């Protein structure tokens, strides 16, 4: 059953965050997600929506996600204190 990991964050430098995400594209793609989308609003708030085929794949991808976010935090692209993570299983699809 598919599972989602939703990560909310605030960016102090949206352009840098987007560039760093693009730079991690191959590494993230190899982690096994079905999709990973990043959406940003006009107030520098962002959300990462990652859909995995199952919980085991999501857990295996955790190290990659932590590494990418860690780099973004270290380089000032996102505020580490703003990160909020939620996970859940698909209940209904339309």
Instruction: Express each pLDDT in 19-53 by its tens digit.
Output: 999 999 898 888 999 999 999 999 999 999 999 99
- Residue from 48, 49, 44, 50 nearest 10 by CA: 44
Structural domains of the chain, count: 1
Sheet bearing 84-89, strands edge to edge: 35-40, 45-52, 3-10, 84-89
Classify residue 40: in a domain, yes or no: yes
Q: What is the sign of the dihedral through the CA atoms of 36, 93, 89 and 11?
A: positive
Classify residue 12: in a domain, yes or no: yes
Instruction: Express each pLDDT in 48-79 by its tens digit.
Output: 999 999 999 999 999 999 999 999 999 999 99
Per residue, the 3-state secondary structure of 16-77, as one string, reads: HHHHHHHHCHHHHHCCCCCEEEEEECCCCEEEEEEEECCHHHHHHHHHHHHHHHHHHHHCCC
CATH number of the domain encompassing residue 1: 3.30.70.100
**Alpha carbon distance 48, 91 (integer Å):** 20
pTM for this structure? 0.89
Classify residue 48: in a domain, yes or no: yes
Classify residue 62: in a domain, yes or no: no
Domain membership of residue 45 as a residue range: 1-54+78-94
Give residue 29's pLDDT: 85
């Amino acid at each position: 059953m598919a599972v989602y990991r939703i990560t909310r964050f605030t960016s102090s430098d949206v352009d840098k965050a987007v560039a760093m995400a693009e730079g991690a594209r191959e590494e993230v793609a190899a982690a096994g997600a079905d999709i990973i989308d990043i959406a940003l609003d006009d107030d520098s708030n962002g959300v990462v929506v990652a859909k995995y085929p199952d919980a085991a794949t999501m857990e295996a991808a955790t190290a990659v996600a932590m590494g990418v976010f860690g780099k973004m935090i270290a380089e000032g692209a996102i505020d580490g204190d703003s990160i909020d993570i939620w996970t859940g299983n698909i209940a209904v699809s339309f």
